[in-house]
Structure 1
Amino acid sequence: MSKSILIVDDSSSIRQMVEVTLKSASYQVTAAVDGQDALDQCKFKRFDFVLTDQNMPRMDGLTLIKNLRAMAAYKTVPIVVLTTEASNDMKMQGKAAGATGWMVKPFDPDKLLEVLKKVLG
């Protein structure tokens, strides 16, 4: 069975590029437009992997991660941040919030698939 992935980004072009990349590798992809949308979806469905942007309206990526980590179903789900934020301070905040990894935009599709294979096994 293919893995179910939630991508969270307020940029439709980024969502589309990530979606095409992941679907080409046979992953099931669901998209959310911001952290609040993602959190709402996660209350009704468990995803195997979450890829989230940091800077979004309504709820940012770190707040989303903290909320997901508080839910039993998402305690161990890999969550990777895909963002333009590259500072060590931001990465440390991400790690403290419970992020599994950090990728900087623009993303390399091959690198993204490599990260997914690594964290999903």
Structure 2
Amino acid sequence: MAVLIVEDNPTNAMIIRHLAKKVTAQEIKVAGDGNTALMLCHAENFEMLIVDHQLPGMSGLQFVKAVRLMDRYRDVPMVMVTADDGSRLREDAQAAGVTDFLHKPVEAMAFRKLLADHLGAAALHPELRSA
């Protein structure tokens, strides 16, 4: 299985991908916009989606709503990455199907905990499983 990162900013995508590679042995794929990510979700099965709130063409919320319509993604963890910590966004995102949040700038320890919580310890690199 794999993890999909949906992030239009190349620097942010690189940072999140780098953090993910340090934490999990899962394959990591990156899409720069919601439409590309949606096509990937139709073609492949991802174990977790990490989605930026602000994407070109389709917002992160619109993307999450579209993916949640697919049966195989009903229970897949979807994490929204955002600098906005307002309660309105949190409510809207949870209503759309967002499982959890990562706040920018993404902190390594919080990211590791989030992946372990949603993917389980088995998805972590072996040396991190007992940490």
2:22 aligns to what? 24
Q: Note the 1:1-121 alignment, pairs <5 A.
A: 3-25=1-23, 26-121=25-120
Q: Percent identity?
A: 29
**How many residues of Structure 1 are paired with residues of Structure 2 in the alignment?**
119
- Displacement over 2 Å in runs of 4+: none
- Amino acid of the residue matched to residue 11 of structure 2? S
Name the SS of the counterpart of 1:43 in structure 2: helix
How far apart are residue 27 of structure 1 and its match?
Answer: 2.6
Q: Which has the higher contact order (CA 8 A, sep 6+)?
A: 2
Structure-2 separation of matches of 1:85 and 1:46: 29
Task: Point out where structure 2 has 5 or more consecutive residues left out of the alignment.
Answer: 121-131
TM-score by length of 1: 0.94
Task: Point out where structure 1 has 5 or more consecutive residues left out of the alignment.
Answer: none
Q: CA RMSD in A?
A: 0.9
